Amino acid sequence: MRKFILIFSTIIITCYCNAQNKNQKHIDKLDFSDQRGYFRIVSYNLENYFDPFNDSLKNDVDFTPEGNYHWSWDKYKEKQKKIYKVLSAVGGWELPEIVGLCEVENEFVLRDLLKSTPLKFRFYEIIHKESPDRRGIDVAMLYRSDKFKLISKQFIEIVFPFDTSKKTRDILYAKGYTNDHDTLNIFMNHWPSRFGGRSESEMNRRIAAKILRNKVDSIFNSNPLSNVIIIGDFNDEPEDISVTDILQAGHNFDSLVPGQLYNLAWYMKEKRGMGSLKYQGEWGLIDQIIVSTSMLMKTNSVYTTVDDAKVFNADFLTVPDDAFVGYKPFRTFIGMKFNGGFSDHYPIFIDLYRK
């Protein structure tokens, strides 16, 4: 009997450890400072970067002192400092050249971020437009004008044929060139959420994927070897139909075909076990990085590799997961309670290199 109990206990402990290892799989810490490309692009969902003022044109009353989140100027400023801390850390030995942002309320919070933190010393410019999103959250981009020259920008509207009154965030498209005259086509996304259920909302993300693919195809029609980089929060995983079939972001990295897209997030998740957020104990990678064929060709003047797309899961962004096992991002809110953290998402980034 004693022998049976010992064996049974060993099995239970082994199963627990395996489950814990599965949940901690991506937490293997990388030395983010040991190497950096000449150009770094970051994507970061900020988790409700709102000012504390009520805007009568938006549904933002929750993020006021009287609202459900009891959002105040002091809490807003605390979050602002944390955003700066993340961006200064994720950049490596210098601040990132381009930063794509999700869940930004307005241009005020962006300008205040650049004015009130040391970011003001790094020539950052803002690309932003008020979106029709019902929550009043937008996508935005910060770029260092000393490292990236903007040629054009476009805010691509997502129109739902089955309900033209339905609104969501635009897709931000920025075209520009680096100091070495490498032209980059960058798309920043925050696709429709899973509110109401994953399957019930799936068509919304498929429509966003189709609109994005049409725009990418228009670029490829001019040059199949154009440098395209797609980043953001897709609210779908790398293996979901919206990404694999509609956007047509593949993962056959051994067979590069001009005019195609390749999902580095698939490699990050399936081959390296990375995750950018944790929901009910399960890691996901809805924050994705997708590139065109040319970006994976080392004969190209500017290129990257599958190993140069990473999740920035630094220790200061991470706390123990008491409800499940392992760890999780140190988020700003738990429900409507202020938690004092950074975001429910980790940032992701990609490094570019010169031939």
Contact 291, 262 (CB under 8 A): yes
Mean pLDDT of the chain: 91
Q: Is the pTM of this model over 0.85?
A: yes
Task: Say whether pLDDT at 107 is over 60.
Answer: yes
Are 98 and 41 in contact, with CB atoms under 8 Å apart? yes
Q: Is the pLDDT of residue 3 over 70?
A: no
Taking a C-beta distance cutoff of 8 angstroms, is the pair 127, 155 a contact?
no
> What is residue 305's predicted lDDT score, i.e. its pLDDT?
98
Which helix (H) or strand (E) segment holds residue 220: the answer is: helix 198-222
| pLDDT single digits (tens) 267-297 | 999 999 999 999 999 999 999 999 999 999 9
Mean pLDDT confidence for 38-46:
98
Q: What percent of the chain has pLDDT over 90?
A: 82
Residue 53 has pLDDT above 90, yes or no: yes
pLDDT score at 164: 85
For residue 325, pLDDT over 80 is answered with yes
Residues 345/53/59/235 CA torsion (nearest 10 deg): -10
Residue 272 burial (CB < 10 Å; 0-12/13-18/19+)?
middle
Question: What is d(CA 52, CA 61) in angstroms, rounded to the nearest whole number?
Answer: 9
What is the average per-residue pLDDT within 307-332? 97
Residue 56 in this model has a pLDDT that exceeds 50: yes
pLDDT grade, residue 72 (50/70/90)? very high
Which residues lie closer than 8 Å to 70 by C-beta, 6 or more apart?
338
39-354 is a CATH 3.20.20.70 domain: no
The pLDDT of residue 23 is above 50: no
pLDDT score recorded for residue 27 = 47
pLDDT the model gives residue 196: 73
